[in-house]
């Protein structure tokens, strides 16, 4: 997805940081909604994905998904899927592309995903 005039500019990763990108348009729209609802928490989630997307110390608010949701495919490659709980209902799901040091946000929403119920 190429940026358009008037859109925010994200800084490129520096040093050991990971690149954070949207896997699809729905994730980008959901990200905007999360940012409007909880800007501080969304910023903190972005920073976490940027610096430590698959932490050894998992928490209830940041962990790898389980079962069928534990993996996802992006551009034909299977990757681990993680979740960050941004608000009580808001979630970010993302895929970790270790080879490219890229985090692919494949779902962002202000509401709790029904797939995890």
42: in domain: yes
Instruction: Give the model confidence (pLDDT) of 46-99 as tens digits.
Output: 999 999 999 999 999 999 999 999 999 999 999 999 999 999 999 999 999 999
Domain CATH code at residue 69: 3.30.2310.20
11: in domain: no
In this structure, are residues 30 and 24 in contact, taking their beta carbons and an 8 Å threshold?
no
Q: Domain of 49?
A: 19-111
106: in domain: yes
In this structure, are residues 17 and 51 in contact, taking their beta carbons and an 8 Å threshold?
yes
**Residues 58, 43: Cα–Cα separation, whole Å:** 19
Among residues 34, 107, 21, the alpha carbon closest in space to that of 72 is found at 107
CA angle (107 as vertex; 25, 103 as ends), nearest 5: 90
Q: What is the pTM of this model?
A: 0.92
Backbone angles phi, psi at 74, to 5 degrees: -135, 125
7: in domain: no
């Amino acid at each position: 997805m190429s940026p358009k005039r008037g859109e925010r500019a994200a800084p490129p990763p520096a040093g050991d940081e990971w690149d954070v990108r949207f896997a699809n348009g729905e994730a980008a729209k959901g990200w905007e909604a999360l940012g409007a609802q909880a800007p501080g928490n969304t910023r903190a989630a972005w920073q976490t994905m940027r610096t430590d997307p698959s932490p050894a110390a998992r928490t209830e608010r940041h962990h790898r998904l389980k079962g069928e949701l534990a993996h996802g495919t992006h551009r034909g490659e299977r990757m681990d899927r993680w979740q960050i709980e941004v608000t009580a209902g808001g979630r970010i799901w993302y895929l970790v592309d270790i080879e490219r040091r890229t985090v692919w946000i494949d779902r962002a929403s202000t509401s709790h995903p029904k797939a995890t119920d």
